[in-house]
Amino acid sequence: MNIRALIAIFIFACFFGSTATNASSTTEAALAADPVAEKRLQHLSEELRCLVCQNQTIADSNAELAQDLRHEIRGMIAAGKTDKEIIDFMVVRYGDFVLYRPPVKGITLLLWGGPVALMLLGLVVLVRYLRRRATRIADDRPLSADETSRADALLKENTQK
């Protein structure tokens, strides 16, 4: 392939890539015509976790899956479903992990207790390390004059034998 063909492919990709982005944002803007539905969507989107980003709500995420979930929620709102029905649908489909604040129960206990357990484990390891270090430092102190003379005497005895 020559350089002109590569440049043409690059320009073609840039043109159609930006058009697809504009089309998706235009579609979302058209769906946002009802302010009451949008307020419900915003509230529900802040309660659901983006499954791709995992550290953002679907309201904050720009991932394709988050956009699809927002679109699906809009459809359910238009169909007259309640917030509880929408949340229950998402939990059935994706599990408790989709909830940004999952309920405390047996299966999600690790999500709630994991960070606390890791912090406590880290503190235990740190305290043990500091105690061992303090003991080693205490053992590395210089010998007193009496200990030095006894060590010299033992060395002389061993060298004379």
Confidence at residue 20, expressed as pLDDT on a 0 to 100 scale: 45
How many structural domains are present in the chain?
2
- Which tops the pLDDT comparison, 133 or 26? 133
CA angle 5, 6, 12 (to 5 degrees): 90
Are 60 and 95 part of one and the same domain?
yes
Q: Among 119, 87, 116, which Cα is nearest to 102's?
A: 87
| pLDDT band of 22, cuts 50, 70, 90 | very low
The 3-state DSSP class for residue 42 equals: helix
The 3-state DSSP class for residue 48 equals: strand
Residue 130 clears pLDDT 90, i.e. is over it: yes
Rounded to a whole number of angstroms, the CA Rg of the chain reads 33
Are 55 and 123 part of one and the same domain?
no
pTM as predicted: 0.50
The residue range of the domain holding 91 is: 3-110
Query: Where a domain ends, among 94, 110, 126?
Result: 110
What residues have CB less than 8 Å from 45, skipping those under 6 apart?
Answer: 57, 58, 59, 69, 70, 73
Please say whether the beta carbons of 122 and 82 come within 8 A: no
Confidence at residue 86, expressed as pLDDT on a 0 to 100 scale: 92
Are 97 and 36 part of one and the same domain?
yes
